Amino acid sequence: MTFKVAIVGRPNVGKSTLFNRLVGKRLALVDDEPGVTRDRRHGEANLGHLRFEAIDTAGLERSAAGTLTGRMRAQTEQAVATSDVCLFLIDARAGVTPADEEFAELVRRSGKPCVLVANKAEGRAAESGLLDAFRLGLGQPVPVSAEHGTGLSDLLDAIEEAAGPLAEDAPGEIEPLAPDSQSPEDAEARPVSIAVVGRPNVGKSTLVNRMIGDERLLVGPEAGITRDAIAIDWSWQGRKIRLIDTAGLRRRARVQEKLEKLSVADGIRAMQYAEVVVIVFDAMSAFEKQDLQIADLVIREGRAPVIALNKWDLVENPAAAMREATETARRHLPQVKGLRLVPVSGRTGEGIDRLMRAVLDVHSAWNRRVSTARLNRWLEAMLADHPPPAVSGRRIRIKYVTQIKTRPPTFVASCSRPEAMPDSYVRYLVNGLAEAFDLAATPIRLQLRKGENPYAARARKR
């Protein structure tokens, strides 16, 4: 088993930097601006022979319960309540502040084993801060530098002592299986990675909270609350799911601040590495230009798209609205035939089961492989119904088609003059593939290659 370690402290003491150091990846956004982290972020940490779950949290601040910073503080307090050990960080160069004293009392009242960590302890400037830390009453401070990776061996000993028997049961670092050693059963057991994307304030975090049945993510009326991609492990009807909530994507021209650029880049990276992407539209103002640009980006990246029409509980005439949305999607997003649109409500939970069924259906199509024999029987029928056109008086011949990869389904057609093939005929073939092999609602890539002439070498010898 593993134990949970919450990293807490006031803003800008280096919590996210230490979190990234412990998990060995740049998962959390880091910037000089205080208050970058807002949601709790979980990650598998390896420190020496210990393996545990690290929790990055928002900076503790004094504020009213209903404000954004108040809700952030509530998230941090919940992380402390669910953890086994707390790492209370202070800035050794700044010394102990009144905020540190107040929040040290909060951690002390929680009753959790606590390790006092004096971060940014490199150099002589930190010496007075280290001595000052003793008055917090949390024991001897552990001097570390999360940025430079120093002091981690002392931190390991302190965590091991605070965790007690939990540390004895925690396994050491486990080597992952090599990709070629994974069986099909192992691949089926892996969680389906689902990124939830959309423009700001369409209800992405509210929808994710409703799906998992927990107020795991910070929500509110303010636009742009989510700043970095937060991954949450979940299970739906026995199927393992990894949900990734992302920051709202605005038009590039409107993204000016450095922190928002980092947030947008983090969201796009999460989308690129996901398998299925749920694109959340506001049902009251769906198919705006930014909605269509996000959907086009998902399709061009080859991810399996599903559109969630959120806030459906506010729609007055659902049947008419659904017909209009389906027609609009067919007209403005023709890149994917049969794109799945699912009406949902993050506030009431309406449509979440339908959304998950659509996600798994699209994921199955995205991974589907078709044999070459079936493809060429299909091609023979397609050519008989509608042969390729003659361009400049010469007819284009298609010899065969085969699938070269999945995720997304990618096919290669060998033909005599690929450069002269009209786009309309390529769309005819792609639509035929989607219909014949149940590949609707997923991107399909069809590449045209010129077949080799078996007599070319003989002609060169002459």
Same-domain status, 277 and 155? no
Under DSSP, the state recorded for 368 is: -
Same-domain status, 254 and 340? yes
Asked if 94 contacts 129 with a C-beta cutoff of 8 angstroms, the reply is yes
Asked if 19 contacts 68 with a C-beta cutoff of 8 angstroms, the reply is no
Q: What tens digit of pLDDT does each residue of 365-394 get?
A: 999 999 999 999 999 999 999 999 888 888
Does a structural domain hold residue 174? no
Residue 47 CB burial class (10 angstroms; 0-12, 13-18, ≥19): buried
Same-domain status, 11 and 150? yes
The radius of gyration of the chain from alpha carbons, rounded to an integer in Å, stands at 27
Q: Write the CB contacts of 457 (distance below 8 Å, at least 6 apart in sequence).
A: none
Look at the chain and report how many structural domains it folds into.
Answer: 3
Same-domain status, 320 and 449? no
Same-domain status, 452 and 432? yes
CATH code assigned at 301: 3.40.50.300
Final residue before a domain boundary, out of 169, 200, 231: 169
Tokens of 261: 């650029």
Does a structural domain hold residue 79? yes
Q: What is the band of 32 on the pLDDT scale with cuts at 50, 70, 90? A: low
Same-domain status, 286 and 342? yes
Q: Choose among 278, 262, 269, 229: nearest CA to 39.
A: 229
CATH code assigned at 441: 3.30.300.20
- 84 forms beta bridges with none
| CA–CA distance, 342 with 169 (Å, rounded to integer) | 44
Same-domain status, 148 and 252? no
Mean pLDDT of 219-238: 82
Predicted confidence (pLDDT) at residue 457 exceeds the cutoff of 70: no
- The per-residue pLDDT for 181 is 39
Sheet of 410-415, strand order: 398-405, 410-415, 445-450
Same-domain status, 111 and 140? yes
- The per-residue pLDDT for 459 is 53
Q: What is the band of 257 on the pLDDT scale with cuts at 50, 70, 90? A: low
| CA–CA distance, 1 with 53 (Å, rounded to integer) | 10
Q: At residue 315, what is the residue type?
A: V
Does a structural domain hold residue 66? yes
Asked if 278 contacts 323 with a C-beta cutoff of 8 angstroms, the reply is no
Q: Choose among 438, 448, 439: nearest CA to 402.
A: 448
Does a structural domain hold residue 462? no
**Residue written as token pair 């209800």:** 203
Mean pLDDT of 303-327: 96
Q: What tens digit of pLDDT does each residue of 273-308 get?
A: 999 999 999 999 999 999 999 999 999 999 999 999
Q: Give the structural domain span for 251.
A: 180-365
Mean pLDDT of 29-44: 76
Predicted confidence (pLDDT) at residue 460 exceeds the cutoff of 90: no
Judged by DSSP in three states, 266 sits in helix
Nearest-10 crossing angle of helices 204-212, 352-366? 100
Same-domain status, 361 and 376? no
Same-domain status, 240 and 149? no
**Element containing residue 211 per DSSP (H, E):** helix 204-212
- The per-residue pLDDT for 126 is 85
- The per-residue pLDDT for 218 is 75
Preceding peptide of 141 cis, ω within 30°: no
Mean pLDDT of 300-319: 96
- The per-residue pLDDT for 443 is 94
This prediction's pTM: 0.80
Please report the sign of the dihedral spanned by the C-alpha atoms of residue 52, residue 235, residue 57, residue 139.
Answer: negative
| CA–CA distance, 1 with 168 (Å, rounded to integer) | 10
Q: Write the CB contacts of 219 (distance below 8 Å, at least 6 apart in sequence).
A: 205, 206, 209, 225
Predicted confidence (pLDDT) at residue 232 exceeds the cutoff of 70: yes
The mean of the pLDDT values for the chain is 87
Does a structural domain hold residue 175? no
Q: Write the CB contacts of 385 (distance below 8 Å, at least 6 apart in sequence).
A: none
